[in-house]
Amino acid sequence: MMNWIETKNNEPINLNEIPCLNIVDLRKEILEIKKRVVGFFGQPFGAGVKLFVIMADDEQGKLFVSSAYFNENEKSYDSITKDIPAFHMFEREFFEEFKIKPLKHPWLKPVRNHKKEYPFFEIQGEEIHQVGVGPIHAGVIEPGHFRFMCNGEKVYDLEIRLGYQHRGVEDLFLQNPTNQLAESVCGDSVIAYNLAYSKAMEALLNIEVSNKAQLIRLIALEMERVAIHIGDLGAIAGDTAYQMGNAIFGATRTLVINSLLEISGSRFGRGLIKVGGVNFDIDEKLAQNILKTLEKVGADVKRTTTTMLKSATVISRLERTGVVSYESAKALGLVGMAGRASGVELDSRFDFPDKWFMDKDDKKFKATGDVYSRTRLRYKEIMQSLSLIRKFMRMLPEYKNEPLLVPVNNGLYGEKFVVSIVEGWRGEVIHTAITDNNGRLSRYKIKDPSFNNWYGLAMAVRNNGISDFPLCNKSFNLSYCGNDL
């Protein structure tokens, strides 16, 4: 392990201790270390570019970091994707940002850049037709373009073009890093993003937030998961024309987000988390109210899901629709909920635990990789999160005299590198921050789980009817803005 430096979630390392190799050696190291890629991004460095690689050992909860330097004349290298497919989006992104070409990359297309015409994959044939959808979709959702190659109703291939949401978020973090900006990167994962950002900053400030604030943050994180998962169950019910499910899950979700409003003043928990702790307390009375509401939520979700999944018309739409096999999911590097539904057991809450998440969930989930699997998994995770919330709420009174916020008196430590991983409801939200010698952010890199998982959706719809696409899409519910940044 000479050529890697080992670290952990939220543990800053000195920038000058990160090994710097040439790309040929780094490539060899990446193939040899046999870990999972969670970061692969560049930063301008002198006249050239420095490429940072972060590999995760999920079983040990360890991260391995290394880097390679490209001088101004080195404009290409041998692609890693052809050996490890999970690198393919990372290499495309690196190429787009720094014009250093991964040679023999099988799918080197734009990620967010719209300056040139996008080269869509095409199938030729008398019976083949194309269907283009978006960027503006039929419903009220974010923009993206989907191009289907169909034979009759059957989808042979789906290509997804994104980038419409690109706002240059990473650069904005260098100009003016704020909690409000972190909350707005991906507005359906407000808590997860703000938590990842705040924890990265706290690591670079070397401050420890109070136990009370940590618990309130985790309660909000699990409430976010519960709320979105319930909304998604409603959307899946809606797309299978099970209208009652759609109505009830919609109303049940309202109860959860209104509880978040009672804590923070916002239905999505905006304004709750701040670098140094949290802005709002959960006192005993509020805790009791929320627990009572969540008890009803749990009972209603259980009853509605059970009734819904007994309906033959629903089941026939869910089972064996949009299958992603374990092998595909593993090879593509799917993460989070979509990965778990295909049997890839990654959950950074337990893989990279802080002191509150020690006991891993031992109940095995029978993953089948189809829409049905993603539906059942949501139900399971709602119940799991509700029990976690109960557990954290019970622990709160013990710390009631602790402060909500600890003061921030110093600036960020300079010349540091820190990785911050938070398991949002979609999966791992990874923020990586690098500071310069003045203690200013010199690079801020965000990786949303959707960045890995969009390709999983494209795989899922192959050989399915095109009319099942909305259902497959809802079952993944991936982020456009988290991908486009």
Neighbours of 319 (CB within 10 A): 14
CB of 106 to another protein, least distance (A): 25
Using CA atoms, how far apart are residues 252 and 363, in angstroms rounded to an integer?
A: 26
Using CA atoms, how far apart are residues 180 and 175, in angstroms rounded to an integer?
A: 14
CB of 38 to another protein, least distance (A): 23
Interaction mask 441-480, another protein, x per CB under 8 A: --------------------------------------xx
Measured in whole angstroms, the distance separating CA 308 from the mean position of its chain's CA atoms is 28
CB-wise, 163 or 449, nearer to another protein? 163
List the 145-151 sheet strands across, edge first. 128-133, 145-151, 154-161
Q: Which of 14, 180, 325, 387 binds another protein (CB under 8 A)?
A: 180
Of the candidate spans 185-193, 210-218, 289-297, 352-360, the one that interacts with another protein by CB under 8 A turns out to be 185-193
Does 401 interact with another protein (rule: CB under 8 A)?
no
Using CA atoms, how far apart are residues 93 and 110, in angstroms rounded to an integer?
A: 8
CB-wise, 3 or 307, nearer to another protein? 307
Does 390 interact with another protein (rule: CB under 8 A)?
no
CB-wise, 61 or 250, nearer to another protein? 250
Q: Report the relative pairing of strands 145-151 and 128-133 from DSSP bridges.
A: antiparallel
Q: Longest Cα pair distance anywhere in the chain, in angstroms? A: 73
CB-wise, 162 or 344, nearer to another protein? 162
Q: Would you say the C-alpha torsion 485, 421, 377, 268 has a positive or negative sign? A: negative
CB of 202 to another protein, least distance (A): 18
Using CA atoms, how far apart are residues 278 and 282, in angstroms rounded to an integer?
A: 10
Whether residue 431 contacts residue 196, with contact meaning beta carbons closer than 8 Å, is answered with yes
Site for another protein in 240-279 (CB under 8 A): 244, 247-248, 250-251, 254, 258, 261-268, 270-271, 279
CB of 194 to another protein, least distance (A): 11
List, as one string, the DSSP characters of 287-323.
HHHHHHHHHHHHHHHHHHHHHHTT-HHHHHHHTTSS-
Interaction mask 121-150, another protein, x per CB under 8 A: --------------xx-xxxxxx-------
First CA to last CA distance, the chain: 33
Does 316 interact with another protein (rule: CB under 8 A)?
no
Place of tokens 């909500």: 404
Whether residue 447 contacts residue 40, with contact meaning beta carbons closer than 8 Å, is answered with no
DSSP-derived secondary structure letter, 135? S
Does 190 interact with another protein (rule: CB under 8 A)?
yes
Q: Which of 3, 43, 184, 442 binds another protein (CB under 8 A)?
A: 184
Total chain residues near another protein (CB under 8 A): 60
Does 163 interact with another protein (rule: CB under 8 A)?
yes
Interaction mask 64-103, another protein, x per CB under 8 A: ----------------------------------------
CB-wise, 12 or 134, nearer to another protein? 134
The first and second tokens of residue 258, run together, are 């209104």
Whether residue 65 contacts residue 13, with contact meaning beta carbons closer than 8 Å, is answered with yes
Task: Report helix, strand and coil shares of the chain as percent, to nearest 5.
Answer: 45, 20, 35
Of the candidate spans 45-53, 79-87, 123-131, 303-311, the one that interacts with another protein by CB under 8 A turns out to be 303-311
Query: Residue 67, SS3?
Result: strand
CB-wise, 30 or 162, nearer to another protein? 162
CB of 327 to another protein, least distance (A): 31
Q: Which of 168, 397, 403, 411 binds another protein (CB under 8 A)?
A: 168
Looking at residue 193, its amino acid is Y
The first and second tokens of residue 452, run together, are 């890995």
Residues within the interface to another protein (CB under 8 A): 112, 114, 135-136, 138-143, 163-169, 171-172, 175-176, 178-181, 183-188, 190, 231, 244, 247-248, 250-251, 254, 258, 261-268, 270-271, 279, 303-304, 307, 310-311, 479-481, 484
